[in-house]
Amino acid sequence: MTGHDGTMAVPGPKSVEANLWGSTLVFSFLCLLSRVGRASQLFDRVDGITVILYVLGWVGPVLALALCAARRRKPWNGAVVPVAVHAASGLLYGVGIGWE
């Protein structure tokens, strides 16, 4: 991204933190794809991939929370949305559909 004076802007810590929070949605989508692929038998050997993707989805928010704690400030207000979606997808897969 360029500024008004034509110089390149370096992403600040807030954008890195926001991307860490938002990375959870990517893993939620990958979990969904792995479940759909397994249900439609597109994949033969995807036994534990959904669980692995779900656990990896929590790495970003944990790192972002650690950054907030290190900087002694409150987490980003919009962080609750991706975390809630990921937690809901975990409940959906774990209770409703069943983990593999």
The DSSP bridge partners found for residue 2 are 8
Predicted pLDDT of residue 59? 92
Q: Is the pTM of this model over 0.75?
A: no
Give me 2's structure tokens.
């360029």
Give me 70's structure tokens.
């290190």
CA dihedral 64, 66, 71, 73 (to 10 degrees): 70
Q: How far, in Å, CA of 80 to CA of 74, rounded?
A: 12
Amino acid of residue 31? C
Return the residue matching tokens 């794809």.
33
Q: How far, in Å, CA of 83 to CA of 70, rounded?
A: 20
Residues of the chain with pLDDT under 50: none
Predicted pLDDT of residue 3? 54
Predicted pLDDT of residue 4? 58
